[in-house]
Amino acid sequence: MDKIKKAFAVLAHCIAVSAVAAPGPTSARSVHMWHPAPAAEWVYGEVTVEKSVPGSYFATICFSCGYCGIQELYDGKKVAIFSVWDPGDPFDFKARPDSVDEKVRTKNLYAGEGVSISRFGGEGTGGKSVMPLDWKEGETYRFAVHARQDGDYRTAFTGYLFRDGAWFKIATFSTLQTKGAHAVRGVYSFVEDFRRTEESRGQVRRAKFTNYFAKPIGGEWKAIEDGCFTADRNPIMTIDAEVVENGFALTTGGDTENKNIKLSANAKTKVGPRPDACSALDALVDSKQVLFKSNDSVEGVKTAVYRIPALCTAPNGDLVAVCDARHEGGGDLNHARPINIAVRRSSDGGKTWTEPVFTWKWAWNDNEHWAGSDPSFIVDADTKKIFLFYNVWESKKRHGVFQFYVQESADNGKTWSEPRDISSDIAFPEWPFGKRDSEGGFIFITSGSGIQTKDGTLLHTIVHVNDGNALFGSDDHGKTWKPFGKPVKNGDECKVVELLDGSWMINSRWSGGGRQIHVTKDRGKTWESRYDKTLEDPQCNAQIMRYGKALLFSNCKSPSRRALLYIRASADDGKTWTDGLCIEPKGAAYSDMTILPNGDIGILYEGAGYATINFTTVPRDDVLKAVK
């Protein structure tokens, strides 16, 4: 064990020494406390400055790709800072910000209000965010850093500051990280004299770094209680470190003496329970909630698999989430197994949810085998009604024939009407409605969400497998339903959105690793079609919706894998798209989105292996910033 500790101390010394530029012999020495944290999704830490002078940096959470903390600038102004390195040599003290190819540079994905963004050089290169923060000596400041996968080779790091009783998101930067997990790694803290003068060498800087916690990827929060005291190459020994309550203190400059933790020595502190601010991180938007999980029960009925999510915001602002409750296996409707539609509601923006219930219990007995699948919503803002559509299959008497039903709710999803058969109402003469799927009648309403257009029309999509797409809807707020125009060739599961000029656009899954696009300017009578290779897609259902003048699109951003769930934005009605924001770096599949009452975005999606259906929220600025 002693050999391991010694090896760790040497490694920590080498890394921490390299983390900052080697100052001249006239400056105070930079001192560091290395914290052996696991590769983490989250890291939390606190800093309390006891003595500062102009030109001081109290870095609270430093890691292999960046750092954050507080500074007192040369002129005495005080700021918070969060920076992330470009790939390359972070110890290149001559590096220029413009020396890195734009394709591999750190990308700024988000900046909080009042935060300035720039590039830095001189100690490697990268992206830097700075915000005014009039911090005080003797007061404690709390920081957190979050890591998430951003595509196959990038990691997005977000820095947070706890202020005014809540977490403030400083900035998010995405950087290339090709080795190891997409995580916060190599955690340490430091005190630095960046003024580096004879006068500054004689001035004392001291801070306590306390209550460090890390949340390993896929694990639970753990206190970080071990440390190793290191310093830069400056030989001056006016430095010290010591164990304090819940952490460590670092001191440099003036007449400081190394009386406590010796340089390169390991030390251990005792950290108490997680502070309230750290616990509050669990509720941040980077976290997801599991709303449905395989083998859980609904109304006492055990369900093997939950699939096919749909999400809407009710007229009163409640959220309504539904999905297939596939009781005896994961097969689709044509596998002739019992399926019902399960629903949960939230009245607080998705923080808490009601217990799941069924919108209707379809009969499954010796005489009849009914099942309903592929739920979707349309919300009528005028009548304050929610319409819930799905496909129905009776496998005892009409095996192989798809039927189409709708339920209504006039109380924001609390109760639902008896299902109404609209199969004959929405039949297109060009398609073999009422035929068995083996006879070409594989026709179904797409799951997810339809829309209400600007003129009040309720509009939805329907699919003829291996043939194409079509639109149906209502001009009388759901009293009657009918086809619109004619079908269009080449399409599968799809969604419709209204463009700014009033046109209707279908965005459909299709072969080839991209998406099929169809646009009509005359309510479906004629169509213009194109194939969009820029919207990578593995032939999976997706969601497209309008947000003001922008379009939002959620899908698995991969030509072949059901993984890497992203939300992307377009400012030109789908002609071009942003790189987007990664919501789920692991397995994912179908998704649906809605706009929350506070303007943020809620997304409901299938998790890895179809084992869960998850919900999370995303701040609107995280997605829309790039198209403003």
User: pLDDT tens across 408-429, in order?
Assistant: 999 999 999 999 999 999 999 9
Neighbouring residues of 572: CB distance < 8 A, sequence distance ≥ 6: none
pLDDT at residue 93, as a whole number: 59
Encode 8-43: b = buried (16+ Cβ within 10 Å), e = exposed: ebeebbebbbebbbebeeebbbbbbbbbbbbbbbbb
How high is the pLDDT of residue 525? 97
Q: What's residue 21's pLDDT?
A: 44
Nearest CA to 131 out of 142, 140, 118, 144 is that of: 118
Q: Which pLDDT score is estimated for 154? A: 86
Look at residues 287, 356, 361, 296 and name the one whose alpha carbon lies nearest to residue 321: 356
Model confidence at 149, in pLDDT bands (50, 70, 90)?
A: confident
Q: What is the 3-state secondary structure (H, E, C) of 388-422?
A: EEEEEEECCCCCCECEEEEEEECCCCCCCCCCEEC
At 7 the pLDDT is 37
- The size of the chain, in residues, is 628
Mean pLDDT of 200-209: 96
What pLDDT score was predicted for residue 6?
Answer: 37
CA angle 358, 462, 536 (to 5 degrees): 100
Q: Closest by alpha carbon to 332, among 374, 389, 362?
A: 374
Handedness of CA 5, 7, 9, 15 (dihedral sign): negative
- Among 416, 406, 448, CA closest to 309: 448
Question: Is the Cβ–Cβ distance between 170 and 115 less than 8 Å?
Answer: yes
- The pLDDT mean for the chain works out to 91
**What does residue 227 show for φ and ψ, rounded to 5 degrees?**
-150, 160
Arithmetic mean of pLDDT, 515-544: 97
pLDDT of residue 340: 97
- Statement: residue 564 has pLDDT above 70: yes
CB 176 within 8 A of CB 11: no
Q: What is the DSSP letter of 436?
A: B
pLDDT band, residue 628 (cuts 50/70/90): low
Give which of 484, 539, 502, 495 is closest to 517, Cα–Cα: 495
Beta bridge partners of 403: 392
**What local confidence, expressed as pLDDT, does residue 25 receive?**
56
pLDDT at 307 over 70: yes
Percent of the chain with pLDDT over 90: 78
Residue 22 has pLDDT above 50, yes or no: no
Distance CA 240, CA 206 (A): 9
DSSP, collapsed to helix, strand or coil, labels residue 570 as strand
257-271 residue pLDDT tens? 999 999 999 999 999
Question: Which pLDDT value is given to residue 368?
Answer: 92
Identify the residue whose tokens are 């390195």.
85
Contact 588, 604 (CB under 8 A): no
**Domain residue limits, the chain:** 2-283, 288-421
Does position 5 have pLDDT exceeding 60, yes or no?
A: no
**Residue 442 clears pLDDT 70, i.e. is over it:** yes
Asked which of 3-7, 53-57, 250-254, 290-294 is least confident by mean pLDDT, the reply is 3-7
Q: Nearest-CA neighbor of 519 among 530, 534, 532, 510?
A: 530
Higher-confidence residue of 284 and 82: namely 82
Contact status, residue 450 vs residue 377, Cβ threshold 8 Å: yes
Gap between the Cα atoms of 414 and 416, Å rounded: 7
pTM over 0.75: no
Q: How far apart are CA 168 and CA 619, in angstroms?
A: 12
CA angle 475, 481, 484 (to 5 degrees): 70
pLDDT of residue 92: 62
Residue 191 near residue 16 (C-beta atoms within 8 A) = no
4: three-class secondary structure by DSSP: helix
Q: Tell me the average pLDDT across 160-181.
A: 86
Per residue in 355-373, pLDDT (tens digit) is 999 999 999 999 999 999 9
| Angstrom distance (rounded) from CA 227 to CA 9 | 9
C-alpha dist (Å) from residue 337 to 196, 333, 369: 74, 7, 8
- The dihedral formed by the CA atoms of 109, 280, 556 and 446, expressed in degrees to the nearest 10: -120
* Beta strands 289-293; 266-268: pairing state: unpaired
Has domain 2-283 been given CATH number 1.20.120? Answer: no
The shares of helix, strand and coil residues in the chain, as percent rounded to the nearest 5, are 10, 50, 45
The CATH architecture annotation of domain 288-421 reads 6 Propeller (2.120)
Count of helices and strands (H, E) across the chain: 4, 45
> pLDDT value at position 94?
64
Residue of 541, 586, 589, 594 lying closest to 386 (CA atoms): 594
Average pLDDT score over residue span 463-483: 97
